Structure 1
Amino acid sequence: MKKLLIWLTALLMAVGLGILVPGPASATTSYCGLQWGSKAKAVETMSAAAVTNIRTGQHYCFDRMVIDLKGDVAGYKARYVHTVAQDGSGNPVPLRGQAFLQVTVTAPSYDDNGKATYSPANQAELSNVNGYQTFRQLAWAGSFEGYTTIGLGVRARLPYRVFTLDGPGSGSRLIVDVAHFW
């Protein structure tokens, strides 16, 4: 019993003096277990689909932007930029936030006859994101030569992911999730 008390005392002293400390947290651990990153993401394939709607949603760990398409989405490019550029003209798209994602889907927002399949009522505010934890603004950057671009203002350069989903019906969706924290 005396030896046990001596060992226990020595262990408590070692911890108290900082000789024994817990190891560092795993470098792969991140907010909500998300392992996304903030580098550019792209699939360089043209699509026969057309953009029909853009909407947003809030989740526990991230904010989400959804681009609805009529047909299968085939390609996209998303990356952080200093300034989002308008399709065709290259003019800057003003956005609120401390960081800006330029999201381009390789699909037009018009049909083969040039008729609009998506025409936002307010190009500066595609969706009301007041009260969102990460999103600050979604703005229209245009649709030109088969590409449609959206500017996404966020509160900081945070990790994000981009992926596609089938449906509803014969349509598809391009999803952009931006984490609330690192």
Structure 2
Amino acid sequence: MTLRTTRVIQALAVSIAAGALPLTAVATSAAGSTTAGTAAASTAYCGITWGSLAKSSAPMVRGPVTGVRAGRHACFDRLVIDVTGRAPGFSVQYVNAVYTEGKGTLVPLRGGARLRVVALAPAYTATGAPSFTPANRSEVVNVTGYPTFRQVAWAGSFEGQTTLGLGVRARLPFRVFTIQDATTSRLVIDVANHW
């Protein structure tokens, strides 16, 4: 193997690891040129390797939930929960059914699978005043036309945690992470459009 070929392979490996390139099979010819072809079973959709098991993080925060929004991306649909202050802990997992906080009433959801999204932050202030109240508890965010999301429903806020039901097309890979700036933070849930 020539030094040039070694450097090309190293550059490709770094780009794939950083997510800058989709994972594909790369072949090098005897002349030193590279060609890329799709690797049948081993290639992940859009480079997504998230999986569908439960994801969680522990810190509970006092900063209240202030909003919920959604967006479509090329490879996934995204749900964002806005919070004042530090980033909240969370628990996100596929469940057979989502129930309201406190009361335990079934939250009906459209779609072939259901994610229970729990933000470890209240949807009310320290004085008990609501910090976020959805206009429609059954349709917190309009996700009509989204490839993966079917419905976002409010399950309530009780004892410092806020729960949403996320109806999705099927049990698909997802990831959860938080983003924090000087005064606000966001809990982000991305669900892949395909496996």
TM-score, length of structure 2 as denominator length: 0.78
1:28-56 deviation per Cα after TM superposition (whole angstroms, max 9, x unaligned): 52100011000000002211221000000
Q: Deviations over 1:68-99 (max 9, x none)?
A: 00111231000000001111111110000000
Query: Is 1:28–1:35's contact at 8 Å kept on the other side of the alignment?
Result: no
- 1:174 maps to which residue? 187
Alignment of 1:160 with 2:190, yes or no, is no
Letter in 1 for 2:183: S
Q: Which residue of 2 aligns with 1:126?
A: 140
Alpha-carbon distance in 2 for matches of 1:84, 1:27: 34
Matches within 5 A, 1:1-182: 25=39, 28-167=42-181, 169-182=182-195
- 2:75–2:192 Cα contact (<8 Å) kept: yes
137-146 vs 38-47, greater mean Cα deviation: 38-47
**Gap regions ≥5 residues in structure 1:** 1-23
SS of equivalent residue, structure 1 residue 32? helix
Q: Aligned partner of 1:59: which letter?
A: H
Superposed displacement of residue 161, structure 1:
0.2
1:98–1:155 Cα contact (<8 Å) kept: yes
Which amino acid counterpart does residue 81 of structure 1 have in structure 2? V
1:166: Cα distance to partner? 1.3
**Structure 2 contact 88–187 (Cα < 8 Å) conserved:** no
Q: Distance in 2 between matches of 1:128 and 1:74?
A: 24
Tell me the CA shift for residue 26 of structure 1. 7.0
TM-score under structure 1 length normalisation = 0.84
Instruction: Using the aligned pairs only, state the percent identity.
Output: 54
Whole-angstrom distance in 2 between the partners of 1:28 and 1:92:
39
SS in 1 for 2:130: coil
Name the count of aligned residue pairs: 158
Structure showing greater radius of gyration is 1
RMSD: 1.4
How many angstroms apart in 1 are the aligned matches of 2:98 and 2:179? 25
Deviation per CA, 1:106-148: give whole Å up to 9, x if none: 0000001000000011000011101000000000000000000
